[in-house]
Structure 1
Amino acid sequence: MLRPHALRVFVAVADCGNIRDAAAQLGRTVSAVSMTLKQLEDRIGAPLFEADRKHTLTPLGTEVRKLARDLLREHDRTMERITAIATGQEGVLRIAAVPSVAAQLLPAVLTEMLARQPGVQIELLDTDTPSVHALVAGGEVEIGIAGKPGPARDLEFMPLFNDPFRLVCRRDHPLAAATAPLRWQDLQGHRLISNKSTTDFATADDARLRAASALSARNMISLLALVGAGAGVTILPGLATRSMQPDLCSMALADRAALRTVGFILRQKNTPSPISTAFQRRFRKMIATSGLVSVTAAP
């Protein structure tokens, strides 16, 4: 087997026309270069130079130099790509996140990553928390950002931030006039439009409210359109209420337990790729400095 190092030494000597200059270029001793050339010629079974002075190639040497240059060029490109992938400068990252995170937090992080690491490709899927868990567990994405999975899931949860739930209603709705955080009993008698995000927490009062709801919506655009049309009120994570139509408002809830803890979702016993590690580091830094969410203690 011809080693790339031996071919590199041969090409250097052939280009320089002598061993001494090639040794200086390679940072090797003259004797080491001479030994490498001898071993290469022994391996090939024929001389590559016409004489010991190494300034004239044999016909075989001319062909080997051309082939060696092509091989070394491809070898170096391959090694550069391996290094880039190993350091997170190249590669594909597939992420699944709940819609509020995908819309409010990820754009800035992903834009920065693409600017600093142009060799990276990112695929983002926004969906509800149960679907994020399923996508990570099934290996369809490498990392998820959502609420905590149940204990039966073979998933690892790394908490990032707490996101209190808020009531969303029209500005002309009676509840919009409240001057204090709303209690669950304040919602009695008002139509609640249920949605997937409310499954991230549960209290007795909230469970009764959701059971009494005659309307539900899964898509965020449809949900807010229903609220805007006066079909009822809904409960959403605070992050999801940062970009709403001007005719809607969000109201604080008195129940401090009405919050979701959002974190990274990873498959257990799975070594993250370098690009995933780089993304996690950038995302943590962003949420720690953005002031948009209440950061939790992270491992």
Structure 2
Amino acid sequence: MDNKIARNLSLKQFRAFVSVANCGSFSGAAQELAISQPALSLSIQQFEEIVGVPLLSRTTRSVSLTPLGQEFLPRAEKILADVESAILSTRTSAEKQKNRVTVAVLPSIAIRILPQAIRSYSALAPNVKIHMQDDNGRGVEAQVLNGDADFGISNSWSDNTELNYQPFLRDQMGLICRGDHKLARRKSPLTWSDLTDLSFVGMAPDTGTSRLTKGVEGLPTCVLSPDFTVLTIAALVGIIEGGEAVSALPALAAPDYLNPSLVYRSLSEPELYRELQLIIPKNRPLSSAADKFTEFLLGQYHEISSMFPNHTVKSATSLS
């Protein structure tokens, strides 16, 4: 369609034409559209001028469609129906999105934190549906930036200037080993130096866990230059189960809850914590539902920390 024609046409003119065609009179159409007859006649006149051909045949007693008008009528009706359908579909989508919150999270958050939080929140807001998508730290940020998620929960990956990072939780790094390992049975607190000369399983350099220990002074050589390097927790568990190797992970990422043969014990000297944050887009306001869910999560740290012994998971604002 010529751009000039498209700019001059209006839905009111389409409705006027369809109404006159179906009513067979200007008076009936004017009553149906709740406008005056002169206004309706002017609208039809302008419409025919834009289309460029006569669509209606007028006599003193009746109005009928010209042959071209008969050909044009079903197309005009379809245009109006398509517009109405598009509007209704958009409104329906908007209503669904209004009560839907998508959260991008680290796998450890997806397993240890979100399920219980979602159940608790659903009891308070049963009409809101929380959709969870797990990813690594880089992926969580990408989902928030791309609009695939309303917000994310992760440790800061890139300090992107288009994102706000709101402190949420901090979980302590600790030893992961088999339950029959000598360090698992030790009654005294463990320090990083206790890992000296042990066979160690490290996470790949491009992971948040690896970045926690990079450049930290005082850590054993085996931690900084591990015997094994893996990308997934599943691979780490497999190696530890099969021998004397040990590893270190943040408390929420510890696989002891999945495998009773493994244990987690916090490590000190130094105490290392993973800082978890709510990652929120700066230039895209949260929906009301997403905003309320973030407020709910921030108020849940007492319940979350109580699930983990010895204060290995704390509020991000807690330094004790």
TM-score computed with the length of structure 2 as normaliser: 0.64
Q: What's the counterpart of residue 107 of structure 2?
A: 99
Corresponding residue to 1:198 among 209, 234, 237: 209
1:176 equivalent to 2:184? Answer yes
Deviation at residue 52 of structure 1 after TM alignment:
6.2
CA contact (8 A) 2:144 2:279 kept: no
User: Using a 3 Å threshold, how does the CA distance of structure 1 residues 53 and 223 change in structure 2: closer, same or farther?
Assistant: farther
User: 2-side partners of 1:18 and 1:73: how far apart?
Assistant: 22
Given that 1:137 and 1:154 are in contact with CA atoms closer than 8 Å, whether structure 2 keeps it comes out as no
Structure 2 Cα separation of the partners of residues 124 and 149 of structure 1: 17
Name the larger-Rg structure: 2
Distance in 1, matches of 2:260 and 2:266, equals 17
Please list the CA deviations of residues 183-222 of structure 1 after superposition, one character each: whole Å capped at 9, or x if unmatched.
3334445433221343343442346552253222221110
1:257, 1:207 → 2: CA distance? 14
Q: Which residue of 1 aligns with 2:80?
A: 72
The change in CA–CA distance for 1:232 and 1:69 in structure 2 (over 3 A counts) is same
Q: Give the C-alpha shift of residue 39 in structure 1.
A: 1.9
1: CA distance between counterparts of 2:97 and 2:148? 19
SS at match of 2:50: helix
Residue identity in the other structure for 2:294? R
Distance 2:246 2:63 in 1: 86
Partner in structure 1 of residue 254 of structure 2: 241
Say which of 262, 270, 295 aligns to 2:276.
262
| 1:36 and 2:30 are equivalent in the alignment | no
Whole-Å Cα distance in 2 between the matches of residues 103 and 149 of structure 1? 20
SS at match of 1:46: coil
Aligned to 1:210: 223
Secondary structure of residue in 1 paired with 2:175:
strand
State the one-letter code of the partner of 2:15. Answer: R
Asked whether the 8 Å contact 1:6–1:36 carries over to 2, the reply is yes
Matched-pair contact (CA < 8 Å) for 2:240–2:246? yes
**What's the CA shift for 1:67?**
0.8
Cα distance in 2, alignment partners of residues 137 and 35 from structure 1: 51
Aligned length: 281
Q: CA 1:99/1:46 → structure 2, altered by over 3 Å: closer, same or farther?
A: same
Whether the aligned pair in 1 keeps the contact of 2:106 and 2:140 (CA below 8 Å) is: no
Which residue number corresponds to residue 20 of structure 2? 13
Partner of 1:159: 166
Q: Please state whether the residue corresponding to 1:205 is helix, strand or coil.
A: coil
Tell me the CA shift for residue 163 of structure 1: 3.5
Q: Deviations over 1:131-166 (max 9, x none)?
A: 438957997977765321356x66534235223133
In structure 1, C-alpha distance between the alignment counterparts of 2:78 and 2:49, rounded to whole Å:
22
Alignment deviations for residues 212-266 of structure 1 (CA, whole Å, 9 cap, x no partner): 5322222111011122223422222222236421212222344685222233557
1:169 and 1:232 in contact (8 A); partners too: yes
Contact 1:163 1:238 in 2 (8 A): no
Pairwise CA distance, 1:12: 2.8
| Gap change, CA 1:289 and 1:57, over 3 Å in 2 | farther
Alignment correspondent of 1:284: 294
C-alpha change, 1:51 and 1:150, in structure 2 (3 Å) is: same
Report how far residue 124 of structure 1 moved. 5.2
- Whole-Å Cα distance in 2 between the matches of residues 59 and 212 of structure 1? 85
| C-alpha distance 262-280 of structure 1, shift in aligned 2 (>3 A) | farther
What residue identity is the alignment partner of 1:56? Answer: S
- Are residues 1:63 and 2:76 paired? no
Q: Percent identity?
A: 23
- Deviation per CA, 1:83-134, whole angstroms, max 9, x where unpaired? 56777749xx99875332355567797xx9xx9899xxx995733x3x4389
- Using the TM superposition, give the Cα deviation of residue 66 of structure 1 relative to its aligned residue in structure 2, in angstroms: 0.6
The whole-number CA distance in structure 2 between the counterparts of 1:145 and 1:53 is 72
CA-to-aligned-CA distance 1:164-192 (integer Å, 9 cap, x gap): 13332222223333556533334445433
> Are residues 94 and 283 of structure 1, via their aligned partners in 2, closer, same or farther at CA, if it must alter by over 3 Å?
closer
C-alpha separation between the residues in 1 aligned to 2:113 and 2:39? Answer: 57
- Is the deviation greater in 9-18 or in 177-186? 177-186
User: Aligned with 2:275: secondary structure?
Assistant: strand
The one-letter code matched in structure 2 to 1:259 is: Y
State whether structure 2 residue 135 is matched by structure 1 residue 126.
yes
Distance 1:188 1:52, change over 3 A: farther
What SS is found at the alignment partner of 1:204?
A: coil
TM-score scaled to structure 1, two decimals? 0.68
